[in-house]
Amino acid sequence: MVNMYYDADITTDKIAGKKITILGCGSQGHAHSRNLQESGADVVVGLRKGSSSWGKAEKAGLTVKEVDEACAWGDIIVVLLPDTVQKRVYEASIAPNLNAGDSLVFAHGFNIRYGLITPPEDVDVWMVAPKSPGHRVRTTYTEGFGVPALIAVEQNPTGDAKNLALEYAKLIGSGRAGILETSFTEETETDLFGEQAVLCGGCEELVKTGFEVLVEAGYEPEIAYFECLHELKLIVDLMYEGGIAAMNYSVSHTAEYGGYVSGPRVITPETKENMKAILTDIQDGTFAKNFVSEMEENGGKNLDRIRGEYEEHTLEKVGEKLRSMMKIDKTGSGDDCFNASNDA
Ligand code: NAD
Ligand code: MG
């Protein structure tokens, strides 16, 4: 069983007086920096000159400096850049500014787990990984709550790394929801597996394929969209609140029985073998190697091409039209906070 920490368990004050540099102001960066600042921390955001986030961050009351200057200023450097960019920025701007006793911090263990970044031994290396998209880190905080987070310690020469991680997690609001301790390896491998097999990859293919089967059988795309995509959120909300049994308690006996008999025809023993092969690619570094080479050597061209193909899918076209015609509960969609994800 892993330990769970809450606000009341986090009493020490190691982070007070430390200067926190947040590199990047995208999905996670904008949320961490604003939450930290509003919780009383001393924060500077590091951005490239001309970044489209610069003005938005300043408008939100944040202090912005160029990356090198921000790294020189901070005692705690938090790397909230895209995973494939981190090594370059580390070598150019972070490493030259790391002093003994500083902290190097991540929200995902990718660069440490796969050896892309090797920090000096006299620097604390820890992680605070919110288990949610960045905009939820922000909106839940503004609502007086937070999202659960994982913490992990990779290097601890000062002896304070775990306390610093817990305090940081508390300052971004996660101590209100619950903080769990893990390792860089466990976080990286389970995070990649979860998003590939279940949350992003598995889920989008399930939705898309179900939609295709209905439309190819002659049903109206709008009806297929509701069945295969729109209602998914309502079902997942029930699972989120009470697990699978609670979901089945709320749906009809017809849906429950149909689910039990047909679910295993969709997710077969072969699917499980495929999931195991995905996990192996993650564990042995195959996925990381391919992803870094796609982004750094191929300029993300395949990613752009596949994204374009998915955007052209009838499911997306129908969905766009339907959503513009309907009143949809957008709670938690992040419309009210700036999120400079994927800016130039
Ligand atoms: P993002 O793409 O939303 O934002 C990245 C930011 O970095 C942007 O502000 C961008 O302008 C900036 N940037 C890009 N290249 C740069 C460069 N060369 N120099 C300076 N700035 C540069 O990224 P994100 O999704 O917030 O991910 C950041 C980290 O958080 C990653 O390690 C990711 O795995 C982790 N994480 C993300 C989420 C999420 O919800 N998106 C959840 C958990 C963990
Ligand atoms: Mg993730």
* CB distance 187 to ligand 1 below 6 Å: no
Q: Collect the ranges in the chain with pLDDT lower than 50.
A: 332, 334-337, 339-344
pLDDT score of 342: 39
* CB distance 68 to ligand 1 below 6 Å: no
Q: Is 162 exposed, middle or buried (0-12, 13-18, 19+ CB in 10 A)?
A: middle
Taking the C-alpha atoms of residue 329 and residue 184, their distance in angstroms, rounded to an integer, is 36
* CB distance 78 to ligand 1 below 6 Å: no
**Residue to substitute in 80, 114, 147, 339 for testing ligand 1 pocket (most ligand atoms within 8 angstroms of CB):** 80
To the query of whether residue 108 is one of the catalytic residues in this protein, the response is yes
* Ligand at shortest distance from the CA of 108: 1
pLDDT score of 331: 56
| Amino acid residing at 341 | S
Taking the C-alpha atoms of residue 201 and residue 317, their distance in angstroms, rounded to an integer, is 20
pLDDT score of 335: 41
Q: Which residue's CA lies nearest to atom 28 of ligand 1?
A: 80
* Ligand 1 nearest-atom number relative to CA 28: 26
pTM of the model: 0.92
* Ligand at shortest distance from the CA of 132: 1
* CB distance 27 to ligand 1 below 6 Å: yes
Catalytic residue, from 30, 108, 135, 253: name it: 108
Strand partners, 76: 20, 103
* CB distance 57 to ligand 1 below 6 Å: no
